[in-house]
């Protein structure tokens, strides 16, 4: 597997970004104490009978960072590098993200330290169900609602929904989002993150007076977020010149045929060896001469040692936490326009919110309606962040954090829940 330099602790990054934004806002100390840290953190042992009959114990986590503005909301990640601190960071970012797009959710995240690529479907199902029963006291449609993240998908959500519903005796679809349509999932949820990334790139191009048609784009990570963003950008006439996944990177300066690449990835599980492409190294993808770079894999991809090599005009953070604070400063001084994660990839949680509303109402919307609402939410959030960026002369990331933190701070102050 290709490795990213991810020695840095994502939670330290989340805390540093909070402090920078809170200082820029002049946020008072009491409010900081109330909203900065996670409300609940649960670590669970997840014993699973593996296919060879032996029991293997995995470690899992669920962190609720905030429930000030509504039920906690956030995905579940299955990955060998999952740690409690990573889950805390991701939960923290979910809080500000939900507030940036102004949906009535707080932030949460979950994960299991495991290597799903080495597990059979049966092992994955048993692990998911055992993990669900272990975190059962925390989750529920009014409390905390999981969704897919790295190496989890609609099937994972179906197992969680079923395990939860078995304890109640009837179906409770609203306990998770990102479910299969046949279980109460929403049209448009699968492509929502990539679609949201696309809308924010459209806004950034408009702001920079840069045509999207024929723009050259490199995408790091070709899963749900990366491949769908790439498909929509391809459909809009952009040239996706490079794509990577955990096994390799492919490059074609004339542009890759993204629909064919998606088919190959679905069939073979990797992008390497794609016809009409040449292999390049992961570090070359980040340093390509291109208009837009879309990091859509894991945290800390762009750090102090490689940020200066980035030559894109726009970095659109489909992934959570792909740019470290030291790299932010380098990109800023190089005039790179960053669409920060808590804005750029908020399309996923926005359509998760639509899914939850539909489940609660037992009334389902058409795809066109969902896309229209998503576009409105994403473009409004972009405008709100841009306003702070221009008026307060702060980088887009700080502006997004100021918007999100400001809304949570206002909610906590109005609720009056000081001790």
Please tell me whether residue 91 binds ligand NAD under the rule CB under 6 A: no
- Residue 67 or 246 with smaller CB distance to ligand NAD: 246
Stretch that binds ligand NAD, among 56-64, 158-166, 318-326, 360-368 (CB under 6 A): 318-326
* 109 catalytically annotated: yes
Residues 263-302 that bind ligand NAD (CB under 6 A): 282, 296-298
Q: How far is the CB of 6 from ligand NAD (least distance, A)?
A: 9
Q: How far is the CB of 78 from ligand NAD (least distance, A)?
A: 9
* Contacting residue, 105, 151, 198, 199, with ligand NAD by CB under 6 A: 151
Please tell me whether residue 315 binds ligand NAD under the rule CB under 6 A: no
Please tell me whether residue 395 binds ligand NAD under the rule CB under 6 A: no
Stretch that binds ligand NAD, among 2-10, 51-59, 234-242, 308-316 (CB under 6 A): 2-10
* Contacting residue, 134, 150, 187, 288, with ligand NAD by CB under 6 A: 150
Per-residue binding string, ligand NAD, 205-244, x by CB under 6 A, is ---------------xxxxxxx-----------------x
Please tell me whether residue 111 binds ligand NAD under the rule CB under 6 A: no
- Residue 331 or 349 with smaller CB distance to ligand NAD: 349
Q: Which of 109, 179, 239, 265 is catalytic?
A: 109
Q: How far apart are CA 4 and CA 119, in angstroms?
A: 22
Which residues are catalytic, by number?
109
Interface with ligand NAD by CB under 6 A: which residues?
Answer: 2-4, 148-151, 193, 220-226, 244-246, 282, 296-298, 318-320, 345, 348
């Amino acid at each position: 597997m290709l490795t990213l330099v991810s020695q840095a602790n994502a939670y330290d990054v989340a805390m540093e970004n909070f402090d920078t934004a809170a200082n820029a806002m002049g946020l008072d100390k009491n409010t900081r104490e109330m909203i900065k840290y996670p409300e609940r953190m649960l670590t669970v042992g997840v014993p699973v009978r593996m296919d060879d009959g032996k029991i293997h114990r995995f470690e899992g986590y669920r962190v609720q960072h905030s429930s000030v503005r509504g039920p906690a909301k956030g995905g579940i990640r299955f990955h060998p590098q999952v740690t409690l601190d990573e889950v805390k960071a991701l939960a923290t970012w979910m809080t500000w993200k939900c507030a940036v797009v102004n949906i009535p959710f707080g932030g949460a995240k979950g994960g299991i330290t495991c290597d799903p690529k080495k597990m059979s479907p049966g092992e994955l199902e048993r692990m998911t169900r055992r993990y669900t029963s272990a975190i059962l006291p925390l989750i529920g449609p009014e409390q905390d609602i999981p969704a897919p993240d790295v190496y989890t998908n609609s099937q994972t959500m179906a197992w969680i929904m079923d395990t939860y519903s078995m304890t109640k005796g009837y179906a409770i679809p609203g306990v998770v989002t990102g479910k299969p349509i046949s279980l109460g999932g929403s049209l448009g949820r699968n492509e929502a993150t990539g679609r949201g990334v696309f809308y924010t790139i459209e806004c950034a191009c408009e702001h920079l007076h840069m045509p999207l048609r024929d723009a050259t784009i490199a995408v790091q990570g070709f899963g749900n977020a990366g491949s769908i963003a790439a498909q929509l950008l391809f459909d809009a006439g952009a040239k996706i010149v490079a794509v990577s996944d955990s096994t390799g990177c492919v490059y074609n300066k004339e542009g890759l045929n993204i629909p064919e690449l998606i088919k190959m990835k679905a069939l073979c599980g990797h992008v390497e060896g794609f016809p009409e492409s040449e292999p390049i190294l992961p570090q070359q993808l980040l340093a390509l001469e291109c208009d837009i770079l879309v990091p859509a894999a894991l945290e800390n991809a762009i750090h102090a040692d490689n940020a200066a090599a980035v030559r894109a005009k726009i970095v659109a953070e489909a992934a959570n936490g792909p740019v470290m604070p030291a790299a932010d400063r380098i990109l800023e001084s190089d005039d790179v326009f960053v669409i920060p994660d808590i804005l750029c990839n908020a399309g996923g949680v926005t359509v998760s919110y639509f899914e939850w509303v539909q489940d609660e109402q037992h009334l389902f919307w058409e795809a066109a309606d969902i896309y229209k609402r998503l576009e409105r939410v994403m473009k409004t959030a972009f405008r709100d962040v841009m306003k702070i960026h221009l008026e307060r002369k702060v980088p887009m990331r700080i502006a997004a954090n100021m918007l999100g933190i400001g809304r949570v701070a206002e909610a906590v102050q109005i609720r009056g829940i000081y001790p």
